[in-house]
Amino acid sequence: MRFLLSGGQACILYGATEFSRDADVLVLLSDENLQSLRRALRELDAEQVFFPALEADALRRGHACHFRCRHPEAAGIRLDVMAVLRGCDPFPALWHRRTAIDIPAVGEVPVLGLPDLVQSKKTQRDKDWGHVRRLLETDYLTRRREADAEDIRWWLTELRTPAYLVELIAAHPEAAARIASRPWLSDAACRGGEALTEKLREEEDRIRADDRAYWEPLRAELEQMRLGR
């Protein structure tokens, strides 16, 4: 089956440690792949725990399909399956940018690439913004001494920690001035951490609003399914 591990379990593998109660997977939407997924769910003795049913049309529209595993070696694990992530590229592009992580006693697991994982975590949920911040901090602190121009551009575009942004802008002022999505970077950095914090909060509020608007019609569909049953 062609899939990418995402969500909280992927955050753990990238070093943004958390306690995750479920496993989120993104799947390629094809008849053959869905057949493989259904076989895997049967092997896991997985029961569906919420709407909608596992169908290509529901996955294509952005819904998640939720399962609880009952196999003795995976008892109680919740598995959430999606084929579309808001704000992210289609699966083939995400697959091309994947990271393969070797897990002892499991083997090589395909994981959503870090930039795509960060993008997928920009939701209306408070806890996801904590994940975004920790993922970026971990990457920055781990790789900043060997960073190339693309790394610097990405951190300037995505970092959410004022102190690290001030440090990065001071070291790369010309690159900071070229970040079109954050034209306020240099000015806010000159005015200090509070100014950066304010701008980051405004940015987050806009993204949260976009996420609420995206999910509103999907939630309405789920409610109609519930009422129909």
Amino acid 227: pLDDT: 86
Decide: 7 and 80 in contact? Cβ < 8 Å. yes
Question: In the predicted model, is pLDDT for residue 15 greater than 90?
Answer: no
pLDDT tens across 177-220, in order?
999 999 999 998 888 888 999 999 999 999 999 999 999 999 99
Tell me the fold of 3-119: Beta Polymerase; domain 2 (3.30.460)
Q: Is the pLDDT assigned to residue 21 strictly greater than 80?
A: no
Cβ neighbors of 52 (< 8 A, separation 6 or more) are: 58, 63, 65, 221, 222, 225
Q: Tokens 């001035």 map to which residue?
A: 177
The pLDDT of residue 162 is above 80 = yes
Map residue 26 onto helix, strand or coil.
strand
DSSP 88: S
Express each pLDDT in 78-135 by its tens digit.
Answer: 999 999 999 999 999 999 999 999 999 989 999 999 999 999 999 999 999 999 999 9
The two beta strands, 22-27 and 78-82, are parallel
Reading the block at residue 93, the tokens are 């592009």
> Which is more confidently placed, 18 or 184?
184
Determine the average pLDDT of the residues in 128-144.
95
Burial of 131 (0-12, 13-18, 19+ CB in 10 A): buried
The domain locations on the chain are 3-119, 126-214
> Rounded to the nearest 5°, which phi and psi values hold at 103?
-110, 125
SS3 71: coil
